[in-house]
Amino acid sequence: MADDDGAPSSPPDDTADGGSRPVLHDSARPPRWVPRVLVMGAVAVFVAAWVWRALGQLTTLFVYLLIAFFVALALEPVVTWLVRHGWRRGVAAATAFFGSVIVAVAVLALFGNLFIQQLIQLVGALPELYASVSESVQAAFDVDLPASDDLLAQLLSTHGTDVATGTLAVGTTVVGFVFAGLTIGLVTYYLMAAGPQFRAAVCRWLSPGRQTEVLRLWEITQVKVSDFISSRIVLAALSAAFTAVFLVVLGTPYALPLALFTGVVSQFIPTIGTYIGGALPVAVALTSQGMPQAAAVLAFVIAYQQLENLYFSPKISARALEMNPAVSFVVVLAFGAVFGALGAFLALPIAATIQAVANTYLTRHELVDSELLRDPERAPPRESRRSRNLRAAREAARTVDARRADGVE
């Protein structure tokens, strides 16, 4: 192109600020990459939200898998013992798994039948118990309580809808419990039946050095879970023994079965196991002996629970899991507050595994010399004035004897 005087025109200047920096785009329009970045950002946000929602929906499944993993580790010594004695792996896993299920069902059937019988007797005795309480209140405070029939009709009219809703919720809970049990049982059996093949499948994706670390961590977890189960068995035995002695002294019927039920349920059902285990002896004492005996059993259950929480459980758990008693107590409270009943039950083996891994892989250093790292030395006992006078007299006598021996008057 040419300008007005015929001279060829120069091409447009593609630089700004005196030709030092090229203009990449028109300042009046956004860059071409902005829409693409906005679309990619929106897609990333929606994908992240979907993944977060999916993980929230799968939380229950992860919990089931965690329970199955720990149950498989707990039953692994039994399977290994059977395999070492000539059993096939699948048959040994089925025997260990279904044997534990049969024992659990037998215990539940035995004590569940007794619990239901006592509950029916307790419900049947409630009107008579309410009548006696009403007479006592009227005699003591001159207050007339409503009759039991009127009270029942009032409760049904007021809370009938809540009872129906609660019944439906209980039915849904039972269905969910059955589904959870089937899921945990199937995963547990497959983990036990696979055994070394499962560990080999995991290790094939790792380098030889990583394989050694994974197998070592697996062994540590196995030991800690076994120690946890053994500590629960010891605590259950102690609870059953103390409860049996108390019930025999009190004269409560079915003392030994009730004590065994209390010991097993209080240790192997997290958080609420103590209350379930103590409810049956209280109900039996109430229906067969009376209110004073039931109150005595309830007081014993509460007192023993405090003794177990403050002394037995920290000592045994610390010895089995090599954990400080205060740390074990705080760990159970923390896991229970965050993850509920399951967290309280699995708190000790998980924390003990983490502690064992830390002791294995973290470097420890020598301690510096400081008085804060040791207890002060014990102070010598303080002498009384009479002791000090006697010691001074003996020292003076020895001094006089020494001077006389040297010929000094």
For the stretch 297-356, pLDDT in tens is: 999 988 888 888 788 877 776 666 666 666 767 777 787 777 666 677 677 777 777 777
In this structure, are residues 263 and 277 in contact, taking their beta carbons and an 8 Å threshold? yes
pLDDT at 95 over 90: yes
What is the enclosing helix (H) or strand (E) of 15?
Answer: strand 15-16
Greatest alpha-carbon span in the chain: 144
DSSP state of 366: P
The residue-averaged pLDDT of 376-382 equals: 68
Q: Is 21 helix (H, G, I), strand (E, B) or coil?
A: strand
Q: Where are the domains of the chain?
A: 60-130+175-205, 210-360
Q: What is the pLDDT of residue 2?
A: 46
Q: What sign does the dihedral 331-332-337-341 (CA atoms) show?
A: positive
Beta pairing partners, 16: 21
For the stretch 214-234, pLDDT in tens is: 888 888 888 877 777 778 888
21 contact partners, CB below 8 Å, separation of at least 6 = 15
The CA distance from 263 to 257, in Å, is 10
Give percent of the chain with pLDDT exceeding 90.
Answer: 6
The CA distance from 253 to 291, in Å, is 15
For the stretch 233-262, pLDDT in tens is: 888 888 888 998 998 898 888 788 788 888
The CA distance from 234 to 229, in Å, is 9
In this structure, are residues 355 and 224 in contact, taking their beta carbons and an 8 Å threshold? no
The CA distance from 101 to 230, in Å, is 18
DSSP state of 8: B
pTM of the model: 0.60
Mean pLDDT is lowest, of 63-72, 109-118, 319-328, 349-358, for: 319-328
Tally Cβ neighbours within 10 Å of residue 140.
Answer: 8
List for the chain the helix, strand, coil content (%; round to 5): 80, 0, 20
As a whole number of Å, the CA-based R_g of the chain is 38
DSSP state of 409: -
| Chain centroid, CA 42 distance in Å | 40
Angle, helices 313-321 vs 325-361, to 10°: value is 10
